[in-house]
Amino acid sequence: MTIGEMNIPKRTIMTPGPVEVHPRVLRALSSPVLGQFDPAFTDMMNDVMALLRQIFRTTNKWAFPIDGTSRAGLEAVLASLIKPGDRVLIPIFGRFGYLLAEICERYQADVYTMECPWGDVFEPKEVISEIKRTKPEIVAVVHGETSTGCIQPLEEIGRACRELDVLCVVDAVATIGGTDVNTDEWCLDAVVGGTQKCLSVPSGMAPITFNSRVEKRINERKKVERGIATREDIELETGRLPISSNYFDLGMLMDYWSPRRLNHHTEATSMLYGLREGARVVLEEGLRERFSRHRLHETALIKGIKAMGLELFTEGRKKLPTVTCVKVPDRVDADLVRKMMLDDFGVEIASSFGPLAGKIWRIGTMGYSCRKENVLFTLAALEAVLIRTGASVSPGNALQAALDFYHE
């Protein structure tokens, strides 16, 4: 059997991730590989830390990527913080809150959850009340829940956690680089991002940041691998309960990302090139300008969706600016519409999960995919396919409404 050369089809990717990769990032990914301890490469590691601090809006010492998808970043932080029996409170308002709970359970945490209907978020006072009731060591919460298109306000929750000496861990995978994530001002102890959404870098790294409160807790369980540990390292770890995971041990990763450069794994050099360039693109545009761009194209998309006669699943203050969820009209096959959009137009949008499977479409306006031509093409494709499937829509109105908005 002969397998031919790759022939990647042209796509307009308007899912909540992955999204289209910025051309500058694609060029960076094709650069020659360096050795991971080459000074030219370790200088790039330092560059990435400095760039990530700005994107996370923090002065934290620690800001670096975990090699792996966004889930790897979440697991690294939680695995490194949780001791068996620790209480962890998780407010759940969609699929990815359940993911946090599952990770915590696997590391033997005593997990407390609170839930609200998918499509809603919590009032901060509800979460703060539950923190006071359950007295957890850690609160783990999703910022932007892509399964429902909702965003959870964090500022009051983070500050309450700080006052109550509780660690606040945040999944900001869908928000970092697309809407405000103010790590220091909101008193967030650890924040996990993703490369494949608003940063417009391929999936494969998870940028994280954490503060000295988290570092102190990690260092209480610090261990260095046999074979590279010094006598002093071994003496320090005597009697300690080590972090359960080797790969996700942030104590060892801190040694790798510090001037000590203690070997942990072989760094994903090409991905680091891509992340470095993607972060540069974000900061060259400017965070405020970038957030405004995401809001602009989100609004144009919403104008078109409503003018077509479709209904949003989530809107208002609780809506996530980077994901727009649209209710599937009655008697319309949601998956057939997605298939026709992909087959006939090369446009990809997403379905959802669990109780929302087949009931909503999720359209991402993230990073490099968040452009005027993409919004207009997506509206045109969706309208054309809905007409062909017999749905009741208002032909021609969607594009005109979006164009009216763009030309205001």
Kindly provide the b/e burial profile for residues 55-85, where b requires at least 16 CB atoms within 10 angstroms of the residue's own CB.
bbbbebebbbbbbbbbbbbbbbbbbbbbeee
Q: Are residues 131 and 268 in the same domain?
A: yes
The number of folded domains in the chain is 2
Domain stop point among 282, 306, 324: 282
* In a domain? residue 12: no
Q: Are residues 259 and 376 in the same domain?
A: no
* In a domain? residue 65: yes
Q: Are residues 267 and 314 in the same domain?
A: no
Q: pLDDT tens-digit profile of 104-158?
A: 999 999 999 999 999 999 999 999 999 999 999 999 999 999 999 999 999 999 9
* In a domain? residue 323: yes
Q: What is the average per-residue pLDDT within 381-405?
A: 96
**pLDDT at residue 238 greater than cutoff 70:** no
- Does the pTM surpass 0.95? The reply is yes
239 pLDDT band, cuts 50/70/90, is confident
Q: Are residues 355 and 239 in the same domain?
A: no
* In a domain? residue 144: yes
Q: How far apart are the C-alpha atoms of 68 and 177, rounded to whole Å?
A: 19
Q: Are residues 333 and 211 in the same domain?
A: no
Q: Are residues 194 and 234 in the same domain?
A: yes
* In a domain? residue 9: no
By percentage, how much of the chain surpasses pLDDT 70?
Answer: 100
**pLDDT at residue 321 greater than cutoff 80:** yes
By percentage, how much of the chain surpasses pLDDT 90?
Answer: 95
Q: Return the pLDDT at 235.
A: 79
- Residue range of the domain that includes 273: 22-282
Q: Can you give the CATH number for the domain in which 274 is found?
A: 3.40.640.10
Domain stop point among 249, 282, 315: 282
268 pLDDT band, cuts 50/70/90, is very high
**pLDDT at residue 237 greater than cutoff 80:** no
Q: What is the average per-residue pLDDT within 73-90?
A: 98
Q: pLDDT tens-digit profile of 149-200?
A: 999 999 999 999 999 999 999 999 999 999 999 999 999 999 999 999 999 9
For 256, half-sphere exposure in the C-beta direction (CA atoms, 13 angstrom radius) is 23
Q: pLDDT tens-digit profile of 279-299?
A: 999 999 999 999 999 999 999
* In a domain? residue 178: yes
Q: Are residues 347 and 205 in the same domain?
A: no
Q: Can you give the CATH number for the domain in which 339 is found?
A: 3.90.1150.10
Q: Return the pLDDT at 404.
A: 98
Q: Are residues 343 and 359 in the same domain?
A: yes
